[in-house]
């Protein structure tokens, strides 16, 4: 896990650049990232989204089929269990991660696709 904790409480341009890049990757996957999310929040989001995606792939899901394009209003995945949960506009990182972990667990319990 990357460590982006800024113990000096000073703005670090390198940390900001990496967090921005990671936030862009999340947004491309359809995950909302807000200006109030700290760099370490963004790292945790990326790690948990990637864990969800690994779980989907381990059950035979195809991320290109099961994930809607970014900003898509209607998702029609082959299997709704494999759809990445949407983060609500007022949802904290910690609450979203709890839901994401629950979804990851549910995917791992789901029968594999043949």
* pLDDT tens digits for range 6-49: 444 577 889 889 999 999 999 998 899 999 999 999 999 999 99
| Residue 60 in domain | yes
84 three-state secondary structure: coil
- Report the chain's mean pLDDT, rounded to a whole number: 84
- Domain ranges, residue 87: 13-109
Is the pTM value of this prediction over 0.85?
no
| Residue 114 in domain | no
In this predicted structure, what is the pLDDT of residue 61?
Answer: 85
Of residues 94, 85, 82, the one with CA closest to residue 44: 94
Percent residues over pLDDT 70 in the chain? 78
Number of structural domains found in the chain:
1
The confidence band for 112, taking pLDDT boundaries of 50, 70 and 90, is: confident
| Residue 6 in domain | no
| Residue 2 in domain | no
| Residue 45 in domain | yes
* E-state strands within the chain: none
């Amino acid at each position: 896990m990357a460590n982006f904790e800024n113990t000096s409480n000073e703005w670090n341009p390198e940390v900001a650049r990496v967090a921005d890049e990671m936030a862009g990757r999340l947004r491309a996957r359809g995950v909302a990232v807000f200006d109030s999310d700290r760099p370490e929040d963004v790292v945790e989001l990326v790690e948990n989204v990637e864990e969800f995606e690994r779980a989907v792939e381990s059950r035979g899901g195809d991320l290109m089929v099961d994930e809607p394009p970014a900003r898509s209003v209607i998702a029609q995945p082959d299997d709704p269990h494999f759809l990445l949960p949407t983060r609500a506009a007022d949802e904290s990182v910690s609450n979203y991660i709890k839901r994401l972990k629950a979804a990851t667990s549910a995917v791992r319990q789901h029968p594999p696709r043949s």
